[in-house]
C-alpha cells in the first residue's frame, strides 16, 4: 500500500469504565450544584476557576504525567474518557484544557527540571491557565512567517511584537509562544524561531480582547513591549522550534474535542423528535449517529497509538479534518431536521437557542488549531504527494 493508514479497533479497558462512572457522577454533582448548565453552551463567562481546582483535586489533570510532577501516570485512554465526558456535558474546561492537553506535555519534554517542578504540579491542581502564542497579525497558518522578536540581552531575551487570536490570554497565567531569535536561512525558512515559556500578567504585556461573532470574548491580541523572558524559560533548541512543533500536533488534533464541539444539538434534536420519529427524522439521526460513531472509533484508535508511543501525525490530521468538517455541518443538518419537529415539543426553545449558538460557532471549527487546508497538506505529504 502507498498509504498504509491503519485505524485498529482499540477498545477502552475496564478501568476506563470505572473512571467514566466517577466522572459522570462528579459532573452530575457539579450540575446539581449549579456550577454549569449542560444545556447552555452559550454562556458569556466560560471561566470557572473553582471548578478547575475541583477537577484537579480529582486527579484528572496531567493524568498521564509522572507522579513526581503531580501526575497520576495513567494511560492516554483514561485521559480520553475524562476529556470526552467533560466535553459532552458542556463542562467549563477552558481554564485547564490547553494546559492539560498541550502546554504540560511541551514543558515535560523541553523545560528545565526546576521549571517542571514549579509549574506542572500547579497545572495538575487546576490552579493555572495556559495560552498558546502562535498566530500573529501577518502569520496564521504560515507559522514560520512569525516576526515577533526575541532579542538576546543579559540573562534572557527582550520580546517585542504582537500575537493574535490567542484564546484565553485574558485569563492565562502562562503562555507558550514562538518568537523569532534569528532570521530564516536561505536553505531553511523554518529556521530561527524559538519556543518560550512566558509568564503573563506582567508589565510589558498588554492583552486586548477581541469580540467573536458568537458574542463571546475568548480570543485576544497580546502585545509585547520590551518584555523580559529569562534564559531558563527557553523551551528546547534556540532557533529550532520547527523541529518541536510537529510532535504536539498528534495530541492537539485527534481528541474528542475535534468532533464534539456542537454535539449538544444532536442530543437535543433526539429529545425534540421523541420516541416515535417519522422516517425522515429517523434516517437523518441514524446517519449522523453512524458518522459520529465512526469518528469516535478513529479518534480512540489514535489515542491507542499515542498510548503505544507512536506519533500518528497523519492519522490525527485525518481525524481533525473529518471531525471538524462534521461538527461544523452538524448544526445545519440538525436545523434541516428540526424544521419537521412538532411545534409542541417541550424543548423546542432550548433546541432553537442552541442551534443559534452552534451555527455561529461553526465557522471557527475548521480554522482553529490547524485549518482544513493545512491538515490536507499534511495528509498529502503522508501520501507521498509533496
Partner 1 sequence: MAESDNIVVETAEKIFADLADPQTINNDKKGAWQAPLWQALSEAGLPLSWVPDDLGGSGASLADGFALLNAAGRFAVAVPLAETMLAGWLLAQAKIASPEGEMTVLPASPKDRITIEADGSLSGRARGVPFAKTAKHFAVLAHGKDGASIALVDAGKGRIESGLNVGYDHSDTVTLDRVQPITIKPAPKGVDQTTLMLMGGVARSLQIAGALESMLDISVRYSNERVAFEKKISKFQAVQHNLARLAGESAAALAAATSAADAIANANAFDDAVYLEAASAKIRCAEAAEKGGAIAHQVHGAIGFTMEHILHRYSLRALAWRDDFGSESHWAVELGKLVATRGADELWPLVASR
Q: Which residues bind partner 1 (CB under 8 A)?
A: 1-3, 5-9, 11-12, 20, 84-85, 88, 263, 266-268, 270-271, 273-277, 279, 281-287, 289-298, 301, 315, 318, 321-322, 373, 375-377, 379-380, 382-386
**Rounded Cα–Cα distance for residues 370 and 319 (Å):** 12
- Residue 91's φ and ψ, nearest 5 degrees, are -70, 150
Nearer to partner 1, 166 or 281 (CB): 281
Shortest reach from residue 383's CB to partner 1, in Å: 5
Shortest reach from residue 38's CB to partner 1, in Å: 10
54-80 burial by CB neighbour count: b if 16+ within 10 A, else e?
Answer: bbbeebbbbbbbeeebbbbebbbbbbb
Shortest reach from residue 369's CB to partner 1, in Å: 17
Nearer to partner 1, 169 or 302 (CB): 302
Nearer to partner 1, 53 or 297 (CB): 297
Report the length, in residues, of the chain: 386
Shortest reach from residue 267's CB to partner 1, in Å: 5
Burial class (CB in 10 A: 0-12, 13-18, 19+), 200: buried
Shortest reach from residue 98's CB to partner 1, in Å: 24
Shortest reach from residue 263's CB to partner 1, in Å: 8
Q: At CA 49, angle to CA 370 and CA 76, rounded to 5?
A: 50
Shortest reach from residue 7's CB to partner 1, in Å: 4
Nearer to partner 1, 205 or 322 (CB): 322
Nearer to partner 1, 275 or 309 (CB): 275
Nearer to partner 1, 229 or 313 (CB): 313
Integer angstrom CA distances of residue 289 from 32, 86, 102, 363 = 28, 19, 29, 22
Nearer to partner 1, 56 or 284 (CB): 284
Place of cell 500573529: 136
Nearer to partner 1, 2 or 44 (CB): 2
**Rounded Cα–Cα distance for residues 56 and 124 (Å):** 5
**Closest C-alpha to 260, from 216, 215, 295:** 295
Shortest reach from residue 301's CB to partner 1, in Å: 6
Integer angstrom CA distances of residue 263 from 58, 212, 326, 352 = 25, 21, 10, 14
Nearer to partner 1, 261 or 268 (CB): 268
Shortest reach from residue 28's CB to partner 1, in Å: 11
Radius of gyration of the chain (CA): 21
**Rounded Cα–Cα distance for residues 348 and 339 (Å):** 11
Amino acid at each position: 500500500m502507498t498509504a498504509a493508514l491503519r485505524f485498529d479497533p482499540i477498545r477502552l479497558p475496564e478501568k476506563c469504565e470505572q473512571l467514566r462512572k466517577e466522572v459522570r457522577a462528579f459532573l452530575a454533582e457539579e450540575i446539581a450544584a449549579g456550577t454549569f448548565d449542560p444545556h447552555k453552551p452559550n454562556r458569556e463567562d466560560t471561566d470557572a476557576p473553582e471548578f478547575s481546582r475541583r477537577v484537579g483535586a480529582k486527579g484528572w489533570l496531567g493524568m498521564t504525567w509522572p507522579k513526581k510532577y503531580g501526575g497520576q501516570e495513567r494511560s492516554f485512554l483514561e485521559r480520553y474518557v475524562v476529556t470526552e465526558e467533560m466535553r459532552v456535558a458542556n463542562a467549563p474546561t477552558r481554564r485547564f484544557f490547553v494546559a492539560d492537553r498541550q502546554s504540560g506535555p511541551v514543558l515535560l519534554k523541553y523545560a528545565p527540571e526546576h521549571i517542571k517542578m514549579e509549574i506542572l504540579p500547579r497545572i495538575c491542581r487546576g490552579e493555572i491557565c495556559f495560552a498558546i502564542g502562535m498566530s500573529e497579525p501577518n502569520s496564521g497558518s504560515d507559522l514560520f512567517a512569525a516576526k515577533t522578536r526575541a532579542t538576546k540581552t543579559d540573562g534572557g531575551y527582550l520580546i517585542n511584537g504582537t500575537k493574535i487570536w490567542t484564546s484565553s490570554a485574558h485569563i492565562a497565567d502562562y503562555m507558550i509562544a514562538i518568537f523569532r531569535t534569528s532570521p530564516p536561512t536561505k536553505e531553511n525558512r523554518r529556521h530561527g524561531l524559538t519556543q518560550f515559556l512566558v509568564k503573563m500578567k506582567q508589565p510589558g504585556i498588554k492583552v486586548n480582547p477581541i469580540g467573536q461573532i458568537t458574542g463571546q470574548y475568548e480570543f485576544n491580541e497580546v502585545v509585547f513591549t520590551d518584555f523580559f523572558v529569562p534564559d531558563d524559560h527557553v523551551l528546547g533548541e534556540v532557533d529550532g522550534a520547527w523541529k518541536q512543533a510537529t510532535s504536539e500536533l498528534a495530541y492537539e488534533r485527534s481528541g474528542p474535542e475535534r468532533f464534539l464541539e456542537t454535539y449538544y444539538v444532536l442530543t437535543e434534536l433526539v429529545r425534540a423528535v421523541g420516541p416515535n420519529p417519522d422516517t425522515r427524522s429517523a434516517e437523518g439521526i441514524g446517519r449522523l449517529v453512524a458518522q459520529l460513531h465512526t469518528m469516535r472509533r478513529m479518534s480512540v484508535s489514535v489515542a491507542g497509538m499515542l498510548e503505544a508511543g507512536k506519533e500518528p501525525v497523519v492519522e490525527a490530521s485525518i481525524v481533525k479534518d473529518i471531525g471538524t468538517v462534521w461538527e461544523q455541518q452538524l448544526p445545519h443538518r440538525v436545523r434541516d431536521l428540526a424544521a419537521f419537529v412538532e411545534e409542541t415539543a417541550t424543548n423546542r426553545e432550548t433546541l432553537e437557542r442552541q442551534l443559534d449558538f452552534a451555527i455561529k460557532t461553526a465557522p471557527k471549527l475548521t480554522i482553529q488549531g490547524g485549518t482544513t487546508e493545512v491538515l490536507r497538506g499534511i495528509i498529502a505529504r503522508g501520501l507521498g504527494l509533496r
